[in-house]
């Protein structure tokens, strides 16, 4: 049995064996399929590997990706996505917790570093809770938008000016929203004594949990 991580590595390695034209075509399919994170990761990568093997054999016969998969990669990719099974609910929940621990871990560590320089051992409880909830909500929304853009842009030759402007506005707006929440929810609730070192330890623990969950996820059969 081959673990998911090895399948991904093998797919990325085999891509380099394709001609430039065929690799450009296949990369569109790859990005589009991988952007559908709700699909079974293992089976998605296995299908991509089968496609790669088929295309490499076709290349030896002088055929192109268009000859093999057709002139409409978007339609072909949609057929693949429709045929692939969804990831198990338990796996999706685990992935969500993994991302959550990662986001919160970095947020807490950054806060700990800031408190180290300000020499403060107190935090406002309600403010901290609101900030964490905001981080998770905004981070989740931003991740969703990124995945949607990957799906939409997978079959575009280059990113349009309007898409670049939109991405810039979304990024700026997201950052502004989060900073606004930090500003307007400052000093809410009772003061709680937590040293910067303890906060640093908590953040590091969350990052460790995220890392272990990711390692376990990529080793699933």
Mark residue 119 as left, alpha or beta (left: phi above 0; alpha: psi -120 to 50; beta: remaining): left
Q: Give 217's pLDDT tier (boundaries 50, 70, 90).
A: low
Exposure pattern of 83-112 as b/e (b: 16+ CB <10 Å)? ebeebeeeeeebbeebbbbbbbbebbbebb
The whole-chain average pLDDT of the chain stands at 83
Which pLDDT tens digit goes with each residue over 176-199? 888 888 888 888 888 888 888 888
**Short-list 184, 206, 182, 79, CA closest to 132:** 182
In this model, does residue 2 exceed pLDDT 50?
A: no
Structure tokens at 138: 């905004």
Task: Give Cα separations from 185 to 35, 142, 179, 195, 198 (angstroms).
Answer: 35, 21, 10, 21, 23
- Other CB atoms within 10 A of residue 169 CB: 10
Q: Which of 1-10, 51-60, 97-106, 175-184 has the lowest mean pLDDT?
A: 1-10
Q: Give the start-to-end residue ranges of the domains of the chain.
A: 4-83, 89-217
pLDDT over 90 percentage in the chain: 5
Weakest-pLDDT range from 40-49, 147-156, 157-166, 204-213: 157-166
Phi and psi of 191, rounded to 5°?
Answer: -80, 135
Count of C-beta atoms within a 10 Å radius of residue 137: 13
> CA end-to-end span of the chain, whole Å?
7
Q: Read off the pLDDT of each residue in 72-86 and give the average, rounded to a whole number.
A: 88
Instruction: Give mean pLDDT, residues 65-85.
Output: 88
Which contiguous run of DSSP H or E holds residue 60?
Answer: helix 41-60
Query: What's the whole-number mean pLDDT along residues 46-59?
Result: 90
How many other β-carbons are positioned within 10 Å of the β-carbon of residue 18?
A: 18
pLDDT digits (tens, 9 = 90+) for 85-133: 887 766 767 777 888 888 888 888 988 888 878 877 778 888 888 888 8
191 three-state secondary structure: strand
């Amino acid at each position: 049995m081959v673990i998911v991580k090895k399948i991904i590595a093998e797919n990325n390695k085999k891509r380099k064996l394709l001609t430039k034209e065929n690799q450009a075509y296949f990369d569109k399919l790859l990005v589009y399929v991988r952007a559908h994170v709700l699909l079974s990761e293992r089976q998605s990568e296995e299908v991509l590997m089968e496609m790669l093997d088929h295309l490499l054999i076709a290349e030896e016969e002088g055929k192109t990706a268009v000859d093999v998969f057709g002139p409409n990669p978007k339609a072909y990719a949609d057929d693949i996505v429709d045929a692939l099974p969804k990831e198990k609910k338990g796996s999706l929940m685990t992935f969500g917790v993994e991302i959550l621990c990662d986001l919160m871990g970095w947020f807490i560590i950054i806060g700990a570093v800031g408190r180290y320089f300000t020499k403060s051992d107190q935090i406002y409880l309600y403010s901290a809770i609101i900030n964490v909830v905001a981080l998770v909500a905004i981070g989740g929304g931003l991740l969703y938008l990124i995945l949607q853009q990957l799906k939409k842009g997978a079959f575009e030759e280059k990113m349009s000016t309007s898409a670049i402007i939109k991405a810039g506005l979304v990024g700026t707006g997201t950052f502004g929203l989060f900073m606004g929440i930090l500003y307007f929810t400052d000093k809410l609730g009772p003061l709680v004594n937590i040293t910067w070192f303890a906060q640093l330890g908590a953040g590091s623990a969350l990052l460790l949990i995220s890392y272990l969950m990711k390692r376990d996820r990529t080793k699933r059969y």
